[in-house]
Structure 1
Amino acid sequence: MASAPHSPHIPVREDWLARGVEPPLEPALPIVDPHHHLWDRPGDRYLFDDLLRDTRSGHDIRATVFVTCRAMFRAGGPEAMRPVGETEFVNGVAAQSASGLYGKLRACQGIVGFADLTLGERVAPVLEAHLRAAPERFRGIRNNTAFHPDPAIQTNPVKPREGLLADPAFLRGAALLPRHGLTLDVWAYHTQLAEVEALARALPDLTVILDHMGGPIGIGPFAGRREEVFGVWRAAMRRLAALPNLRVKLGGLGMALSGFDFHRADTPPGSATLAAAWAPYVETCIELFGARRCMFESNFSVDKGMFGYGTCWNAFKRIAAAASADEKAALFAGTAIKTYRLPPHLGQPRPTSQQPAPQEPSA
C-alpha cells in the first residue's frame, strides 16, 4: 500500500502556542473567516472541535468558509465524483454548527470544494452534484494549482502539474462556474501571477479569488531575496488589481513558503511582531484592490504551526487600525459575505445587551 503524502506544513505545537496567548483587540468587530480547512490525516487532525477551540479566542468570529483540502473524498465510485464526499462531510459539520448547540459560530457557512476543471464541459455533472450535496452553502471551486519546479517549493501534499491554469481544458471547465453561481479560488505563487492574470482576463464573468496574497516565495532559490521578490510581486499584483473580477485573501504568510521563521523561536510571535512583518504585503493589497475586494483569512490550521488563531486576528487588527469603520467592516466580514453570498446579517454588529440606566424618581 502506498504511503500517505508527506505534509509540507509546519507542525502544530499546542504547548508552544499556549505560551503566547493574547487578549483580543476590538473584540466586538464582526469577523467572517473566509479560508480554513478540516482534515484527518496521519498524525495531523483538524476537525470541528479544533476549529471551535481556535475560534473561541475572544474575537467575534461569526462564520467561516471551508476550502477544499482533499478531506473525506469518497473511497470509490467514479473518480470525478469522489470530491463530492468532501462537500457532504463539510455540510454535515455546517449543520452541526447551525444547530446552535456549540455557540453562535456558523462554521462552514460557505463551502469551496474540488472538481477537476480539466474535464472541461464534462465537469458540469460534478458541479451539480456538489450543489445538490450542499445547496445552501456550496459556493465555489478550487483546484490544486500552486506549482514551482524547485522541489523545495511545495505547499500541497500532492504536487500539481505545471501550467494547469493555462490549460485550455481547465479554462473551459472554469467557464462553467459562473453559470452555476460559483466562484474560483486560486492558490498560486508569485511566479504564476501572469497565469492568474491571463485566466481572469479570459473569463471576465468569473469571480476569481486569489488566495494568500499571491504567494510571495521566501524559500529555496528566493531565500534572502525578500526585497527583490516584493518588487516583482507588487508589480504583478498591480496588474491584477486592474481586473474587476479579482478578489484577494489577506493571509497565508504563516506557511514555510513565506520564509518567515517565527516558529523557530522559544515563544510564539506576538501580534505586533506579525503585523510589522505582514504590513507591507497587506497594505499593498488594500491600496491596490481596495477594502471591498480584500478579505482577511486565517488559513488554519496550515498557518497554526507559526502562530495562534487569536494572535493572527490581533495582527490583522493592528494593520487595519487606521482604516475607517466601513473599510474594517469590509476587510473583516463584508467582502467575504458578498463574495461567497453569505447571509448579510453575519456582518452586522450584535445588539447591545445593556439596558438604559434606571431613572431617579421625580420629586
Structure 2
Amino acid sequence: MAGKVRHPIDTAALERYITENVPEIKLPLDIKQFGFGQSNPTYQLTSTVDGSRYVLRKKPAGALLSQAAHKVEREYRVIRALGQHNEQLAPPRRRHRVPVPRALCLCEDSAVLGTPFYVMTFVGGRIFEDPAMPDARGAAERTLLWKAAVEALAALHSVDPAAVGLESFGGGGGKKNNAQGGGGSRASFYERQLATWTQICEAQAQTRDAETGAAVGPIPHMAELLAFFGDASRRPRDRAALIHGDYKIDNLIFTAAADGQDPAVAAILDWEMSTIGHPLSDLANLMYPFFSAELSSSSASSTSASPSSSAPSVSISNPAFLASSRAALGIPEPATLLSWYVAAATSASSSGRGAPAKL
C-alpha cells in the first residue's frame, strides 16, 4: 500500500516535467510512497482531477554501493519494448502477451528530481509477499495462481529479443551463443553474471559498519559459490532469451479475485535485473522456495539427530513448501510447474512468437 512519503521529491519540478512530456497525466498530483520497491524508491501519483493513478520509480539519491543495481533506465527500456510488442499482437496471440504496465516516460536528467526516473501506469490487483500465498481463496486458487505465474514467465521467454529491439539488452548483444550459432565477442550469460556478482560482493565487503566503523567483510561462503559457478564444466549450455532476473511471486501483480474467472498475472514488476540470458535461471528463481524448504528441513533434521551445544539452530524457511505440506495447500509439485512451463512455451512458439523456451 502507498502511504507517507519517506524520500521526498520536488513535486513542482515533477509537475513541470509532466506538463511538457506526459500531457495525458492531469495535474495537480497527490503523491504517496509504496512500502515495497525499496531498492528504487517507488511512488504512487494520483491525478486530483480525474483520479487516474500512475507509478514513478527513481534511482536512490547519494552514493550507490553498486552500479549494477538500481537501473531504472533498464526497467523502462524493457517495459516499453514489451508493451509495444503486446500492442502489435493480434488475436488469438494476445493470450501470450507479457503482462507489463504501460511505460509513459523516462527522465535521465538528474536536474529534475536528483536522479533518473520513469513513470508508468498503475496496475491494480493482488501482491503476495509470501510465495505460499496464505491470502489466496483456498487450495484450488493457489494452484491456479502458481500456474498463472509460470505461464507468464514462459510468455516472456518466448519473446524474440531482436524482434522487440532488445538484441543487445543488458550486454547480451554481439556474439550469439552456442545454442544459436554465429560469431562475435559477446560474453556468456554465466561470465556476465559472475562478473556482476563478484563486483557487488567486493563492494559490500568493503562497506563499513555504521556503529563500529569496521568493514563488514565478505559474505560467508561467497567465494565457494563463485568458484562453483565459475567451473564451466558444471554449466548447462548457454542460451539467449529475454529474462527478468528476479522472477518470484512477490514481483507479480495478480488479477483481483473474481468468481468464475481463473486468476492471471496482471503485471510483472521490478525489471532492474533483466537481461538476455539463460531462461532456466528465472524458472529456478521462481522455484527456489521449494528447494530451500527441503534443504533447511534436512539441516534441521541433521541438527536434531546430532544435538550439540555448538550447533546453530536451524528453522525451515517456509514449511508450506515441504513435500508433506504441498498437496493440502494446493501448492503444485516442481514437476508440475515444469510441465506447465513447457506447455506454455510450446503454445507461444506455435503462435508464431519465436523459439520455445526449451528445458
TM-score category (smaller protein): under 0.3
TM-score (norm 1): 0.23
Largest Rg, 1 or 2: 2
TM-score (norm 2): 0.24
Identify which of structures 1 and 2 has the higher relative contact order when contacts are C-alpha pairs closer than 8 Å and 6+ apart.
1
